[in-house]
A and B are shown apart, each in its own frame.
Chain A
Amino acid sequence: MTVQAPAMTEGGIRLQGLVKTFKSPEGPVHAVRGIDVSVAAGETVALLGPNGAGKSTTIDMLLGLANPDGGTVTVFGRPPREAVDGGLVGAMLQSGGLIRDLSVRELVAMMASLYPDSMDVDEALEVTGLKNKAGQRTQKLSGGETQRVRFAVAIVSNPELLVLDEPTVAMDVEGRREFWSIMRAFAARGKTVLFATHYLEEADANADRAILMAHGRIVADGPTTEIKARVGRRMIRATLPGVDPLRLAELPGVASADRHGDAVILNCTDSDQTIRAVLQQYPEARDIEITGGSLEEAFLELTGEPDDEATELVTG
């Protein structure tokens, strides 16, 4: 446990007017198109968005692995490179393996030695559940175990800012559950955590706040409860002639109601409740469809535009 040195983490994280464009044979790819984010020290923030939204590019700029074409990044009041050199940042990048021919313990110790205020190596192995794998060579690990070691490498530095780019990709359900509980315990030490995910549930369960990205822009930023309400909606569609949409809008769990001829479309915050009420009050309703908005669909709704450029399909 460390006591926060306020001066060290002052200013939190600030991304201002960030722009990044890549060249490709099909023309420029606008991976990030001007984003502004402030994260206070101690916050846990999810960067949420479909593939190609620009999350990884944003994280690369935050870590100093990519230089923005426009805008600035500061991490605790200094440029990313300085924060990294000062040992304030730990990260688990999106994809990546380990170097071979070392044991798990040796690899974690090797990385720990680079940081001024690192965690005890055995403690890092203990919290990431690697204690019984400590002597195993890194090339003999399973995919899930490799992810754990990468996580151990990220937290053994005892960073003020922990950045995780889609960390649970190679993990099974149990592995994910454990992973997030370790992450939350780490965040509870007063650390700042930023993680990218394309699962709304992960953001909802593990972050205080979610930032939604689509097409290189931020489309929503707020408490996870609010974000969930905005993108976690389902639509109920039914043939129901002669009922006033205004009355339908008063049904439980309905955010808004529309009519197109004989069809009504209910935009629901709680479709389970709504459908029960619909069947009870309007037994004549037929052709009922409930569609779950995928995150991608929700984003399209929020951004109000389909993929406007083919090049945006390239993963960012």
Chain B
Amino acid sequence: MSWITYTRYELLRTFRNRRFFVFSLGFPLIFYWVLAAPKHNQTIGGTPFTWGLYYMVGLASFGTMMAMISSGARIAGERQSGWTRQLRISPLTVRAYFRAKLLTGYTMALLTLLLLYASAASLGVSLSAGRWLGMTGLILVGLLPFAALGILIGHLVTTDSVGPVMGGLVSLLAFLGGTWFPITGSGFLHSLGQLLPSWWLVQAGHVALGGQAWGNRGWITVAAWTAILAGGAAWAYRRDTGKV
């Protein structure tokens, strides 16, 4: 099974890149401790949720989204060095290449979740096992479009522009998805948000707050984005044979 060896080294490479590893996992944690820890037992005005719980949920969707998309920055670097062209003249299939990128992205996302959960638990946040699992499972599914988006960005932009592109895109998706402020009512932003995968990622986290799991609309939106972005990523990888 050649792809297992290949994927194993891809994972090893991710863990060994200390700066990437520490910053990727560190930022959501720092955010969490700064925002939530001081008032972790108090409830947020007008809601039944404590600061500790609320920010665990918010940062779970934001942190994992970042973890997934940031694979694009690594891909852009690999293209810059010419390594992607080297891979293109090997029998590595598109499928095996994507699988390795997907698994490294998910590993980072899972570690982000575990660290957040552990921090929250240490601040006294407790949830039923069902809610932890429901939230985690749904977030992992909701991350699929972002895994594809990371690969797509990585093969479209250069290392010079990957920072701004990624930063802008993540901020926009997080904002419109309601990560920072709940977008309520039935206005334009509300309708627009529901068309985005980040909206459903945030909804997945809200399972922990007593929210409903996705209805048909959520599943269809996430599936559609996954299909579109995975198609786009495959297209971008296939055409990406030139020098960068």
Contacts and interface: CB of A to CB of B under 8 A. Distances in A.
Interface string A270-298: 00000000000000000000000000000
B27 interface: no
Tell me the interface secondary structure of chain A in the complex: loop
Interface stretch (A4-12, A40-48, A79-87, A181-189): A79-87
Contacts of B242: 65-66
Tell me the interface secondary structure of chain B in the complex: helix
A109 interface: yes
A111 interface: yes
A87 B90 CA distance: 7
Interface residue tally on A, bucketed by range: 20 to 34
A115 B96 CA distance: 13
B89 A64 contact: yes
Interface residue tally on B, bucketed by range: 20 to 34
A100 interface: yes
A102 B82 contact: no
A217 to B, nearest CB: 23
A157 interface: yes
Contacts of B90: 84, 87, 111, 114-115, 157
A4 B91 CA distance: 20
A102 B91 contact: no
A114 B6 contact: yes
Contacts of B6: 110, 113-114
Nearest to B8: A110
A111 B169 CA distance: 33
Interface stretch (B10-18, B45-53, B205-213, B219-227): B10-18
Interface of A: 60, 63-66, 84-87, 89-91, 93, 95-102, 106-107, 109-111, 113-116, 150, 153, 157
Interface of B: 2, 5-6, 9, 12-14, 16-17, 78, 81-83, 85-86, 88-93, 241-243
25 contacts: A60-B241, A64-B89, A65-B89, A84-B88, A84-B89, A85-B93, A93-B85, A96-B86, A97-B81, A97-B82, A99-B78, A99-B81, A100-B17, A101-B12, A101-B16, A102-B13, A102-B16, A109-B5, A110-B5, A111-B86, A111-B90, A113-B2, A114-B92, A115-B90, A115-B91
